[in-house]
Amino acid sequence: MGEISDGHRTVDQALLRAEHHGERWYSAEFLRIKGELLRAEHTPQSRLQTEEQSHRSLACAREQEALSWELRTSISLSRMYQEQGQTHAAWDALTPVYARFKEGFNTADLKAAKALINQLSE
């Protein structure tokens, strides 16, 4: 909705609250959202920060063994690379995570991942 600064403030508060209360189960998603907000800024600096937040999100998801959070972040990171014309990096960010799924292919996230993989393979 264009309220990027409000979004940053909200996500930062949520991350602080999660850390303070030891409720980090949603942290990977908060970090992914923070990366999406940065991506929406469309500046060279924000691109670097987007990638940094995405890698933090991936590390958090992997630490928690939260494959669904890892997939969502991989989709976001892959889309960023695709927008930058880095098709190979986009492919590498997404396909290994997608390949780890054995079920649930009718869910929105897996459908989105498959559609993006199909775009990248064209």
Q: How far apart are CA 117 and CA 79, in angstroms?
A: 10
Which own/partner contact pairs does 108-116 have at CB distance under 8 Å and 24+ positions apart? Answer: 109/68, 109/71, 109/72, 109/75, 110/71, 112/75, 113/71, 113/74, 113/75, 116/75, 116/78, 116/79, 116/82, 116/90
Q: How far apart are CA 81 and CA 55, in angstroms?
A: 13
Q: Examine the pLDDT at 2 and tell me if it is beyond 70.
A: no
Tell me the whole-structure pTM to 2 decimals: 0.89
pLDDT tens per residue across span 65-109:
999 999 999 999 999 999 999 999 999 999 999 999 999 999 999
